[in-house]
Each structure stands twice: as C-alpha cells, then as structure tokens.
A and B are shown apart, each in its own frame.
Chain A
Amino acid sequence: MIHDFTYFRPGTAKEALSLLAEHKDDCKVICGGQSLLIVMRQGLVATDNLIDIKRLEELNYIKFDSTEGLRIGATTTHRTIEKSPLVKEKYGVLVSMENRLASIQVRNWGTIGGNLAHGDAAGDPAPVLMALNASVKVGSAQKERVIPIDDFYVDLFETALEQDEIVLEVQVPVPAPKTATCYSKFNLLSSDQGIISVGASVTLDGNACKAVRIALGNAAATVMRAKKAEEILIGKTLSDALLEEAGQAAHDECEPVADIHASEEYRRHLVKVFTKRMVKQAWEQASKA
C-alpha cells in the first residue's frame, strides 16, 4: 500500500524547483511515475512529499538544430518520441528503442526525463543515449548544468542529480558522417526490460572503424561503456574474428549480477552475443550511410 504523501503539482519549472529546494530532504519528483509508482506500491520508496512535474509544458518539446543536434524536454513522453517524424528521420535508433519500451500505455504516460532520473540500469533509453554520446541538462533553483550521460549514472538507482535538481533536457549531438547506431535487448517478453541490452554506435573512415561507443544495459550496477571492446575495434576493419574479440572484451569487462532471470555467466554470454550483433549491424549500416 502506498504511504500517504502531500502532492504538489507546480505550474512552472521555476515553481517546481523552489518546491524542491524547500522539501528536498523528504521528497520525490514524479514525472509519469511508470517506474516510481511500482516501487512506491511495493513500499520500497516512501516519501512525505511528491512533486509532480509531468504537466510542465515548458519541458515538453523535441527540437533539432543541425549544429546543436537534438534537444528533448524532460516531460516529453516516450510515445511522443516514438511518433516524432523528426526523431525518426535523424535518430531512427531512438524510435526503434521506444517501440519496444514496455507497452503503449506506459509509453503514453512515461517520460524521458522520468526514465533517466530513475537510474535503472535496465532502462532502455540510457544505453542508446550513451551510444549516441548524449548529455543530460539538469537544473536547481540556483543553477543549471550539463552532465555527459557517461557521468550521469553513479551507482545502483543513483544518479549525479543533487537532491534539489531535476532533469530538464536530453541533448544528443549531431552524429558524425558515416555513423550508425543500433540497440537491442534480450528478454523473453518483448515489452520487458532487457535481461541485458547493448547499444552500439560506429563511425567509419573508409572501411575502418574511426570511432565507436558501446553501451551495456543491465550488465552492471549502472549503464556502462564497454571501453575495452571499443579499443579493440578502433582502426580495424570488420571481420568475424574482430567481432569475436570485441564481444569477448565486453563479456569480460561487464559486471553483471545473477538474479532469478539469468546467471552472471549467462548475462556475460548475452553481452558478448549482443555486442557482436549490434556492432556488426551498426557497422554495416554506417558503411551504407
């Protein structure tokens, strides 16, 4: 049963941030609640104050600029991103990720900002955004700052957000030429979170890998980069042996834990399989780009 709380629904971001400053010691921010309500119902999270920022229209936007890249406001729903022609054209991988994020009902109500702030290592958007080299703009009543998503996740369900800060915006840079990004997750029900997930972004220079970012979901306490796998790929041309080597590196460097859905070893194996698959897929797409 959900513990009683005082519910606030500020009309502006400014108002939200001042409420947050006031209640920061005993407060949760809700922005869709598709993850938060589950843990509140389970009694894992109990708060006296709940600040609902879901209806802040000023943070509900998708913008694109050919130098700045993509800007998605925190209260934008998954469904809006999924259905955005702009996102589809410029960052197709975000649409395919959103397509498999939970159910339509969840996507209709859940938001990108709420998802990222929840800090779940099994969440879908973070590994894709990490592969895309995204950043998160956060703000408090005092100041705003931009955190590279690589630094946003600190530990299990813990982000770099201070107690008086909220996520304001996701920033995705313009991909370099000859770049493609792919994402996939392993699960038994297609609308579930991944038992593991892998996002990979490959930039080619001729036939060689010029740059690569590999992000692993649910393979450690936080979403993580598979940097050793990336190092192996840089400067090389595509071969089965290379993929095998990179997959093995990701297998070795991830830090999954066992649970009832998969053993640690099975998770490592899946990380390897999906790293190989996603790098290959992104590589092939980049070569056609």
Chain B
Amino acid sequence: MHNKYSVINTPVHNVDGIAKVTGRATYTFDVQLPGMLYGKILRSPHPHAKILNIDATEALKLPGVKAVVSGKDTLGIKQGIWRRYKELCDEQVLPMDKVRYIGEPVAAVAAVTEEIAEQALDLIEVEYEVLDAVYEPFDAIKKGAPEVHEGIERNLNVTRHIEWGDVDEAFDDADYIREDWFKCGGQHHMCMETRACVSSYTPEKRLTVYASTQAPYYTQGLLAGVLGMREGDIRVIAPYVGGGFGGKFELDGAMFCSAVLSMKLFRPVKIVFTREEDLIASKRRTPMFYYVRTGVKKDGTFCARESRVFTNGGAYTGMGATALYLTGFFHSFPYKWRGYRYDGYRVYTNTMPSTSMRGFGAPQAMFCSEQQIDWIAADLGLDPIEVRRKNGHTPGYEVPGQAFIGSCGLDQSLDKIEEWIKSRGKLPANRAIGISAAGFMSGGIFNWFDTPYSFSSAVVTINEDGTVELHVGCQDIGQGSNTTMAIICAETLGVKVEDVKVHSGDTDHCPADLGAWGSRQTLMAGNATKMAAAEAKRQLLEFATAKMGPNIVYDLDIKDRWVHLVSRPEKGLDYTQVVKEALRGKEGQRIMGRGFYTPHRKGMISPAYSYMVQAVEAEIDEETGKIGVVNCVTAHDCGQPINPIGLIGQLEGAASMAVGYGYLEYMPFEDGKMMNPNLVDYKVIRAPEMPECEVIEIDTFEPEGPYGAKEAGEGLTNPTAAALGNAIFHATGLQMKECPILPEAVLNAFKEKREKEQEKKNA
C-alpha cells in the first residue's frame, strides 16, 4: 500500500511501552498513599437470601480494624450504566436487604493491613434467610420461578426486538428452511490486573479515586450518583489499566466499597480483588441460547431469518441490555436479508451477572449464524464462500432502519481467504479449514448514560519548543489508544510521535469521553484528536502565511516539523521557530486546539463498520475428541490502519481470547457456585497453543473515520469460534451446537454419528 502519510501506518511502538516493560508504570495495584488502609469485601455464600442482620461487633474489636460498612451505611441507591432507564438501574453494590448471587458483596472492612482486614471478615456475623434460587434462563422464565427481583414477572429483565422487511413472505419464497438450537457459554474477561481501586475522601468533601477502569468518566458519574456527590467533586485517575475487555466500565465492588469506607474514615482505602474474587464476583460474557431459522433459495440467495435468544442475565442488568441488542443486530451480519426478525429475552438468574465482553454479543451470534450457513451450504451442495459472496454487505448498503454501511471490504476479504485456502492444498484426513465472515461497529451511537458531553473530546496545546500536550478523555487499557492518538495528532500537526505527550486517565485534567468500549476510541476519540490538532495547526499556519507572504491562493502545510508551501515543499520555515514566533504574536497565549466528536445521522448502531473473513485450520483427534488449532488467518478491513504493529497486537490478542472461547474457556456452575474460580481450572490459551495468526489487510477508506480508519480489535473476536466449528464440520461432518466445543462433547458426537450410521446400515 502506498503510504501518503508521514506517521500513519508506520510501525510505532507503544508510547508507554518502555514504562511498562521496565516496571515504572504505576497501576492502581501499585498506588500507595499516606495513611492508606486496606479493604476487604465479605461476600455472600448463598445464591439467593434475605439479609436479616449484620453484626460487626466482634470484627470491630480486632486490633487494626478501622471500620465495617454494609448496605445500611450507604444511600441505598440502585445504580446501573443505563442511567436514562431507571428500571435498568437495579444494582446496589452493597445490597440493603437481599443477595442474589454467590460472591455478591455484603459488607466491607477497612484495616491497617490486608491480613487483618481478611481476618475481620470471619468475625462479621451475617444472619441470612436462604431463599429458593434459580440458575438457568429456561427455569427462571417459568411461571412460579423464584423472583430474583421482586415484582419482575418471569424474571424478564429486558426484551429486544429487531425486524425489517416482510419476514413471513420472505420465508414463503424460500426453497429451503433450516432451524437449529445453539448454546453459547459465558467467558471471563481475565484481565491481568484484577479489579482494584484506591479511594481517598478528604475534609474538603472531595473524593479522589484511583481505579482500574475502561471509562474514567463513567466511573466518575456512577460514583457521584451512588454517593450523592457532584461529578466535579470526584476525580478519577486511571494512569495505567491492566486490561478491560468489556468488564471494567461499570461500577464495581472495589470502587464502591473503598469509596464508602474512605468517606467514613477520611483515610485512603485500597481494595484489590484476588483472582478468585475477580472470577466469582465481577461479571462475564453473556451466556446465550439461540434459536435460528433461516430460509434460502436453491442457489443460496438468503431470503429470511428469524431468531430468538434467551440469555442468562445473572443477578443484575450490567451492560447486558446492550449485549442483547447487539447480538441480535450482528446476528444479521454481514449479509443482506429481505426479512429479518429477532427477539431477545434477557432473564435474571441467581448467578454472577453477565455483561459485555469483547465482541459484545457478536461472537455468540456468529457461532450460531456462520455455522448454520455452512450447514445450509452443505445441505444444498453449495460452496460456502460463494454463498457468502452472494449475500454479503456492499459499500453504501443500508441495513433497513438500522445502519448505513460506508466502506465495506467483505468481497475482497472473501477473495483473499479463498486464495489462502487454495494455497494450503490437500490437508490430512483429520484436518480442515472452516471460515467465518464477521463485522463490527466502530463505536456505538448509544447515550443511555445520558450525558450532555460530546462522545469524545481532545485538547491540543503546543509548547514554545514545539512539543505538544495532547489531553484526551479516551482510556488506554493496554490496547494502545494513547499511541493511536499520538500518531493521529502527530500526523495532523506535522510533527513526530515523540513530540506528543498524551495525557489521559484523569477526569480533573482531561476532557470527558465515554471511554474504551464498543471499539469506539480510534474513530471517535481519533476524530476529536484530529480536529483539535487541525485547529492548533490552523493557528500556526495563519501566522506562517502572514510571515511568508505567499499569494493567498497557495496552501501551506506542516510535515516532519517543516512548515512549507504545498506546491513548493522546499520553501518553508522551521516548525519550532514558527511556534516561538506565533506565541509572541499572540501576546504569549498558548496555541491550543479543541476537538470533539458526536455522531449524527449514522443510523442507530455505529458510524462505521469493520469487516473480516477468518479461516481457522484445525485438527481433530477422533479417538479423544481433542481439537488443535493450527492456523487462524484473517482478511481484515479496518479501513486505514493507523499503527500496523498495534494492529497485530490486537489481532493476536483477539485470537487467543476467541480461540479460547471456541474450545477451552468455560464457567461451569453448580447450585450457583462457579466450579473453577482459579487459573489452574479455568483454562486460558498459553503460548504453545497459539495458532499462527496471519493477517491480510484489505485496503479501504472509511469516510467517517480519522484518516479513513475503523475499529480493529474487538471485532476480531467475532468470527473465530464459528470458523473453528466449521473446521470441525468440514473435517468430521460433526455439527457442534454448543460453545465452547469441548473434547468430550466432540467424542460423544462422534459416537452418536457412528450409531446413526450403524442404524442406517441396519435399516
């Protein structure tokens, strides 16, 4: 690809890389403040119980214990991130009168050491009245099931309906209709840094919070809500965050309990979740039961699809309402349906709440959709790539009533993957390649948080020596957004990446931004940064034009710290000199540009969509059911890549997470208790199991994105489990309808298949 840019699409190492690898980076886990106390949380051993009494007398007698708090020490405000919709704000982080899942916080202790705080937990006496509990959506939705939340009929938390076209008529036109049921499991975010927070409340009635969060502004707003404070009196600092993956933009127990304790004691309180706490009492990818009915023409043209989803919502809404919508929307992706109907039901149960996780409902949607498409192709004797090509999105397409597609490289992606598959030649008998297409949003057009601030904002300030202060509200959680913003700023302003200092993760000093979720920052914060840098540059060029005095029809630009005439690049001025002189000309006022982004007229979901086709090559041991993933190759349209090495990091990270979702990671519960709350029994892909992850970039330009860029990281988790399922199908003929695809299930499926074949022979 010809690179017309100076910085964009050149390999840039993370701007915070050296601080991280040398151990200088200060995570919340590392924060130590004078007089700091340590907090621990007492958690419910019951999946469902009334709290009758909490007696902390003995705990408070333990030397070193400074305070014990429970629901009655709080305002009892039910909170949630869907602030616009009161009925979806259903979680008291320290519940007043009942617990709804094992691991839910009941009380919190602050003590001079972590050890004492932990000992104190054993001394708190809680009297419970144990209630009947319910764990699975199909049980919870029955009449007469235990009520997780009083007065919520059939435990129905949220329903979502999406429909376009005349679905029934389109089905009537179909030559072939297939229906299947699928089950997709939960998955834990498994951040390297567990939930952690240090809260410090001072007599000035201000609260400073160091938090491991994906969205400092959300943390600020949510804390203000539950603590009865003004947002501006709370400062949230998140200098470095050890991963989020969709699990860290809600209010968590560490944030809330440390704040409540600190407000009681006027001392800083630190709470860090153990790995077990993180596993049993955070939130998880939403488990889903999927019914999919699809009608097609004999030649593979898609007519209609009708799907129903029942999700295990767990005890609270979390981000589950959004996941319920997005799974239904992306279940139609990336194809054109004449008629499409989706009904989603999110059901409360007495288990750990489910929420968003990388892909936001789409990996589940693709697991069901993309496998069924391959099965339909096989049923009709059609080529699965050809079927996808025939029905795929194209640039300029409108998903009726839902979305406008700008750039779309699906077709080219299919071509490239087809070439790659051909290049593999004939594979051994137990090995095959499966594919899946997918797409994803570049930030959501959702403002259920109901903030008057713009979705993203940025401020660029130029110092007298030409160095640049870039203040952004977007949050770097390891994905490299600070680097992305530095690149966009440097490109726009015409300086080098090392000239730009990025300031983020501090609500006192950075402009508000909705944070790092839904693949929104590259496009939204990127546009805000570009706008801010362009404004600062405009001020510099105004001065330079006056100084150089060219005919006013000439354009000036800055590249690599050289201010010059576009038509005669050799004619120009040194950037630093221009900055110094421009400052004098403005009576010393800083050169400063402000930028923001708020989407308008872009449909209901997102301003832009990434596209991809992924091929997974897997081998299956027929005697044991074991699956090995050999290759995971992606043809990927993310618009203009901003940083190629950052992109590879995102791609490989997504592959490890998504391959894990496909055949390894699962969360078994027994009577509401998670059975593998540790990293010995909860399996996460390790280096030897990582497949080769080649990426083929598809060259597109997204008009809505900064420099043509779209999302590149979250969406990459969408196709993998489906492509793995298809690889298994093509290698063995087995149709695996449950994710993760575990070896014992594969073996049982083999057995079933052999028995069926035997029956056929006998008949």
Q: Which residues of A contact B (CB under 8 A)?
A: 1, 38, 42, 103, 186, 188-192, 260-263, 266, 269-270, 273
Q: Are B688 and A1 in contact (CB-based, < 8 A)? A: no
Residues on B with beta carbons closer than 8 Å to the beta carbon of A103: 686
Q: Are A188 and B668 in contact (CB-based, < 8 A)? A: no
Q: Are B623 and A273 in contact (CB-based, < 8 A)? A: yes
Q: Are A191 and B688 in contact (CB-based, < 8 A)? A: yes
Q: Are A188 and B743 in contact (CB-based, < 8 A)? A: yes
Q: Complex Cα distance A100/B507, Å? A: 48
**Which of B73-81, B309-317, B536-544, B675-683 makes up part of the contact surface?**
B675-683
Q: Which residues of B contact A (CB under 8 A)?
A: 114-115, 118, 623-624, 626, 663-664, 668, 675-676, 678, 680-681, 683, 685-686, 688-689, 743-744, 747
Q: Are B624 and A189 in contact (CB-based, < 8 A)? A: no
Query: Could you show 22 A-B contacts with beta carbons less than 8 Å apart?
Result: A1-B114, A1-B118, A42-B678, A186-B624, A186-B626, A188-B663, A188-B664, A188-B683, A188-B689, A188-B743, A189-B664, A189-B683, A189-B685, A191-B688, A192-B683, A260-B676, A260-B681, A261-B681, A262-B744, A266-B747, A269-B747, A273-B623
Q: Are B626 and A266 in contact (CB-based, < 8 A)? A: no
Closest chain A CB from B101 CB (angstroms) = 19
With A188-B664, A188-B689 given, name 14 new contacts (CB 8 A): A1-B114, A1-B115, A1-B118, A38-B680, A103-B686, A188-B743, A189-B689, A191-B686, A191-B688, A192-B683, A260-B676, A260-B681, A266-B747, A273-B624
Q: Complex Cα distance A103/B679, Å? A: 14
Q: Are B115 and A189 in contact (CB-based, < 8 A)? A: no
Closest chain A CB from B354 CB (angstroms) = 19
Residues on B with beta carbons closer than 8 Å to the beta carbon of A260: 668, 675-676, 681
Q: Complex Cα distance A103/B687, Å? A: 10
A270-B668 in contact given A1-B118, A191-B686 (Cβ < 8 Å): no
Q: Complex Cα distance A273/B115, Å? A: 48
Q: Complex Cα distance A42/B626, Å? A: 30
Q: Are B686 and A189 in contact (CB-based, < 8 A)? A: yes
**Chain A residue at minimum C-beta to C-beta distance from B745:** A266
Q: Complex Cα distance A261/B626, Å? A: 13
Q: Complex Cα distance A269/B675, Å? A: 23
Q: Complex Cα distance A192/B675, Å? A: 18
Q: Complex Cα distance A1/B663, Å? A: 32
Q: Complex Cα distance A50/B624, Å? A: 42
Residues on B with beta carbons closer than 8 Å to the beta carbon of A270: 624
**Chain A residue at minimum C-beta to C-beta distance from B689:** A189
Residues on A with beta carbons closer than 8 Å to the beta carbon of B743: 188
Residues on A with beta carbons closer than 8 Å to the beta carbon of B676: 260
Closest chain A CB from B674 CB (angstroms) = 10
Q: Are A190 and B688 in contact (CB-based, < 8 A)? A: yes
Q: Complex Cα distance A103/B686, Å? A: 10
Q: Complex Cα distance A165/B668, Å? A: 40
6 shortest A-B CB distances, which residue pairs?
A: A266-B744, A190-B688, A273-B623, A260-B675, A260-B668, A189-B686
Q: Complex Cα distance A269/B623, Å? A: 9
Closest chain A CB from B40 CB (angstroms) = 10
Choice from B114, B664, B680, B689 contacting A190 with Cβ under 8 Å:
B689
Residues on B with beta carbons closer than 8 Å to the beta carbon of A261: 681
**Chain B residue at minimum C-beta to C-beta distance from A266:** B744
**Chain B residue at minimum C-beta to C-beta distance from A191:** B686
Q: Complex Cα distance A269/B664, Å? A: 20
Residues on A with beta carbons closer than 8 Å to the beta carbon of B663: 188
Closest chain B CB from A73 CB (angstroms) = 28
Closest chain B CB from A240 CB (angstroms) = 13
Residues on A with beta carbons closer than 8 Å to the beta carbon of B678: 42
Q: Complex Cα distance A120/B439, Å? A: 46
Residues on B with beta carbons closer than 8 Å to the beta carbon of A189: 664, 683, 685-686, 688-689
Q: Complex Cα distance A260/B675, Å? A: 7
Q: Complex Cα distance A266/B681, Å? A: 17
Q: Complex Cα distance A38/B626, Å? A: 28
Residues on B with beta carbons closer than 8 Å to the beta carbon of A1: 114-115, 118
**Chain A residue at minimum C-beta to C-beta distance from B679:** A38
Q: Complex Cα distance A204/B574, Å? A: 85
Q: Are A188 and B626 in contact (CB-based, < 8 A)? A: yes
Residues on A with beta carbons closer than 8 Å to the beta carbon of B681: 260-261
Q: Complex Cα distance A266/B748, Å? A: 9
Residues on B with beta carbons closer than 8 Å to the beta carbon of A191: 686, 688
Q: Complex Cα distance A263/B625, Å? A: 14
Residues on B with beta carbons closer than 8 Å to the beta carbon of A269: 747
Q: Complex Cα distance A186/B680, Å? A: 16
Residues on A with beta carbons closer than 8 Å to the beta carbon of B668: 260
Residues on A with beta carbons closer than 8 Å to the beta carbon of B114: 1
Closest chain B CB from A76 CB (angstroms) = 25
**Chain A residue at minimum C-beta to C-beta distance from B686:** A189
Q: Complex Cα distance A68/B427, Å? A: 49
Closest chain A CB from B430 CB (angstroms) = 14
**Chain B residue at minimum C-beta to C-beta distance from A277:** B623
Q: Complex Cα distance A189/B628, Å? A: 10
Q: Complex Cα distance A188/B685, Å? A: 9
Closest chain B CB from A151 CB (angstroms) = 29
Residues on A with beta carbons closer than 8 Å to the beta carbon of B626: 186, 188
**Chain A residue at minimum C-beta to C-beta distance from B119:** A1
Closest chain A CB from B45 CB (angstroms) = 15
Closest chain B CB from A276 CB (angstroms) = 9
Closest chain B CB from A269 CB (angstroms) = 7
**Chain B residue at minimum C-beta to C-beta distance from A1:** B118
**Chain A residue at minimum C-beta to C-beta distance from B681:** A260
Residues on B with beta carbons closer than 8 Å to the beta carbon of A266: 744, 747
Q: Complex Cα distance A188/B660, Å? A: 11
**Chain B residue at minimum C-beta to C-beta distance from A100:** B688
Closest chain B CB from A33 CB (angstroms) = 15
Q: Complex Cα distance A266/B749, Å? A: 13
Q: Complex Cα distance A188/B683, Å? A: 8
Closest chain A CB from B736 CB (angstroms) = 16
Q: Complex Cα distance A262/B745, Å? A: 10
Residues on A with beta carbons closer than 8 Å to the beta carbon of B115: 1
Q: Complex Cα distance A38/B688, Å? A: 23
Q: Complex Cα distance A189/B664, Å? A: 9
Residues on A with beta carbons closer than 8 Å to the beta carbon of B683: 188-189, 192
Q: Complex Cα distance A190/B743, Å? A: 15
Q: Complex Cα distance A151/B115, Å? A: 41
**Chain B residue at minimum C-beta to C-beta distance from A190:** B688
Closest chain B CB from A105 CB (angstroms) = 12
Residues on B with beta carbons closer than 8 Å to the beta carbon of A190: 686, 688-689
Residues on B with beta carbons closer than 8 Å to the beta carbon of A38: 680
Q: Complex Cα distance A186/B118, Å? A: 38
Closest chain A CB from B230 CB (angstroms) = 38
Closest chain A CB from B315 CB (angstroms) = 22
**Chain B residue at minimum C-beta to C-beta distance from A4:** B115
**Chain B residue at minimum C-beta to C-beta distance from A272:** B623
Closest chain B CB from A127 CB (angstroms) = 18
Closest chain B CB from A281 CB (angstroms) = 14
